[in-house]
Amino acid sequence: MEATMKVMGILALLVIVSIAGVDGAGECGKSSPDDEAMKLAPCAAAAQDEKAGVSDSCCLQVKKIGQNPTCLCAIMLSDTAKNSGIKPGVAITIPKRCNIANRPVGYKCGPYTVP
Protein backbone atom coordinates (compact mmCIF):
# COMPACT_ATOMS: atom_id res chain seq x y z
CA MET A 1 0.00 0.00 0.00
CA GLU A 2 2.80 2.41 0.91
CA ALA A 3 4.62 1.59 -2.36
CA THR A 4 1.46 2.34 -4.34
CA MET A 5 1.15 5.73 -2.61
CA LYS A 6 4.78 6.56 -3.47
CA VAL A 7 4.21 5.65 -7.12
CA MET A 8 1.04 7.77 -7.20
CA GLY A 9 2.94 10.66 -5.63
CA ILE A 10 5.72 10.42 -8.19
CA LEU A 11 3.20 10.28 -11.04
CA ALA A 12 1.39 13.31 -9.66
CA LEU A 13 4.68 15.19 -9.43
CA LEU A 14 5.55 14.30 -13.02
CA VAL A 15 2.16 15.54 -14.23
CA ILE A 16 2.58 18.81 -12.35
CA VAL A 17 6.12 19.29 -13.71
CA SER A 18 4.99 18.62 -17.28
CA ILE A 19 2.06 21.03 -16.95
CA ALA A 20 4.24 23.74 -15.39
CA GLY A 21 6.81 23.30 -18.13
CA VAL A 22 10.00 23.19 -16.14
CA ASP A 23 12.12 24.05 -19.15
CA GLY A 24 13.13 27.40 -17.71
CA ALA A 25 10.35 29.26 -19.49
CA GLY A 26 8.70 31.89 -17.36
CA GLU A 27 7.10 35.28 -17.91
CA CYS A 28 10.03 36.33 -20.11
CA GLY A 29 10.75 33.02 -21.80
CA LYS A 30 14.03 31.46 -20.77
CA SER A 31 15.38 34.74 -19.41
CA SER A 32 14.50 35.92 -15.92
CA PRO A 33 12.69 39.22 -15.35
CA ASP A 34 15.76 40.40 -13.44
CA ASP A 35 17.98 39.73 -16.47
CA GLU A 36 15.49 41.40 -18.80
CA ALA A 37 15.36 44.42 -16.48
CA MET A 38 18.96 45.20 -17.41
CA LYS A 39 17.81 45.85 -21.00
CA LEU A 40 15.62 48.64 -19.67
CA ALA A 41 18.52 50.56 -18.11
CA PRO A 42 17.88 53.50 -20.51
CA CYS A 43 14.49 53.86 -18.81
CA ALA A 44 15.83 54.31 -15.27
CA ALA A 45 15.25 58.06 -14.95
CA ALA A 46 11.86 57.92 -16.69
CA ALA A 47 10.76 55.11 -14.35
CA GLN A 48 11.57 57.19 -11.27
CA ASP A 49 10.10 60.54 -12.32
CA GLU A 50 6.98 60.94 -14.44
CA LYS A 51 8.20 64.36 -15.58
CA ALA A 52 11.53 62.99 -16.85
CA GLY A 53 11.95 62.61 -20.59
CA VAL A 54 11.82 59.15 -22.11
CA SER A 55 14.74 58.39 -24.42
CA ASP A 56 14.35 56.80 -27.84
CA SER A 57 16.44 53.82 -26.66
CA CYS A 58 14.09 53.34 -23.70
CA CYS A 59 11.03 53.44 -25.95
CA LEU A 60 12.62 50.96 -28.36
CA GLN A 61 13.28 48.46 -25.55
CA VAL A 62 9.83 48.96 -24.02
CA LYS A 63 8.25 48.40 -27.43
CA LYS A 64 10.23 45.16 -27.91
CA ILE A 65 9.63 43.75 -24.44
CA GLY A 66 6.10 45.17 -24.30
CA GLN A 67 5.02 42.70 -26.97
CA ASN A 68 4.83 40.38 -23.97
CA PRO A 69 2.96 42.43 -21.30
CA THR A 70 3.39 39.63 -18.75
CA CYS A 71 7.17 39.93 -19.08
CA LEU A 72 7.10 43.73 -18.90
CA CYS A 73 4.99 43.50 -15.75
CA ALA A 74 7.34 40.94 -14.19
CA ILE A 75 10.30 43.20 -14.96
CA MET A 76 8.60 46.21 -13.39
CA LEU A 77 7.90 44.23 -10.22
CA SER A 78 11.30 42.46 -10.18
CA ASP A 79 13.88 42.73 -7.42
CA THR A 80 16.28 44.41 -9.87
CA ALA A 81 13.75 47.14 -10.60
CA LYS A 82 12.95 47.62 -6.91
CA ASN A 83 16.64 47.78 -6.01
CA SER A 84 17.20 50.33 -8.79
CA GLY A 85 14.67 52.72 -7.26
CA ILE A 86 12.06 52.15 -9.96
CA LYS A 87 8.61 53.39 -9.00
CA PRO A 88 6.11 50.94 -10.52
CA GLY A 89 3.36 53.56 -10.61
CA VAL A 90 5.64 55.75 -12.73
CA ALA A 91 7.20 52.95 -14.78
CA ILE A 92 3.81 51.74 -15.94
CA THR A 93 3.26 55.09 -17.68
CA ILE A 94 6.29 54.70 -19.96
CA PRO A 95 4.49 52.89 -22.84
CA LYS A 96 2.00 55.76 -23.02
CA ARG A 97 4.78 58.35 -22.73
CA CYS A 98 6.51 56.59 -25.64
CA ASN A 99 3.29 56.88 -27.68
CA ILE A 100 3.22 53.12 -28.24
CA ALA A 101 -0.06 52.69 -30.07
CA ASN A 102 -0.58 48.97 -29.39
CA ARG A 103 0.25 49.10 -25.68
CA PRO A 104 -1.90 46.88 -23.46
CA VAL A 105 -4.23 49.62 -22.17
CA GLY A 106 -6.08 48.42 -19.08
CA TYR A 107 -3.63 45.56 -18.46
CA LYS A 108 -3.38 44.83 -14.73
CA CYS A 109 0.15 44.49 -13.37
CA GLY A 110 -0.06 43.77 -9.68
CA PRO A 111 -1.93 46.72 -8.17
CA TYR A 112 -1.19 48.90 -11.26
CA THR A 113 -3.13 49.34 -14.50
CA VAL A 114 -1.54 50.37 -17.81
CA PRO A 115 -2.93 53.78 -18.81
**Tens of pLDDT along 2-42?**
544 333 333 333 333 333 334 446 899 999 999 999 999 99
Q: How far apart are CA 87 and CA 93, in angstroms?
A: 10
pLDDT of amino acid 102: 87
Percent of the chain with pLDDT over 70: 78
Residue 19 forms part of a structural domain: no
Mean pLDDT of 93-108: 91
Q: What is the mean pLDDT of residues 39-63?
A: 95
Contact 49, 88 (CB under 8 A): no
In this prediction, residue 1 has a pLDDT band, given cuts at 50, 70 and 90, of low
pTM assigned to the model: 0.73
What residue type is 73 in one-letter code?
Answer: C
CATH of the domain at 94: 1.10.110.10
Is 57 domain-assigned?
yes
Does 20 reside within a domain? Answer: no
Is the model's pLDDT at 67 over the cut of 50?
A: yes
> Does 2 map to a domain?
no
Residue 103 lies in a domain: yes
Helices (H), the chain: 2-20, 33-37, 56-65, 69-76, 79-83, 88-91, 94-97
Is residue 93 situated within a structural domain?
Answer: yes
Residue 6 is assigned to a structural domain of this protein:
no
In a domain, 5, yes or no: no
Residue 29 CB neighbours (<10 A): 12
How many domains is the chain built from?
A: 1
113 DSSP β-pair partners: 108
* Alpha-carbon separation of residue 83 from 28, 44, 100 (angstroms): 19, 11, 27
Q: Which domain holds residue 52?
A: 25-113
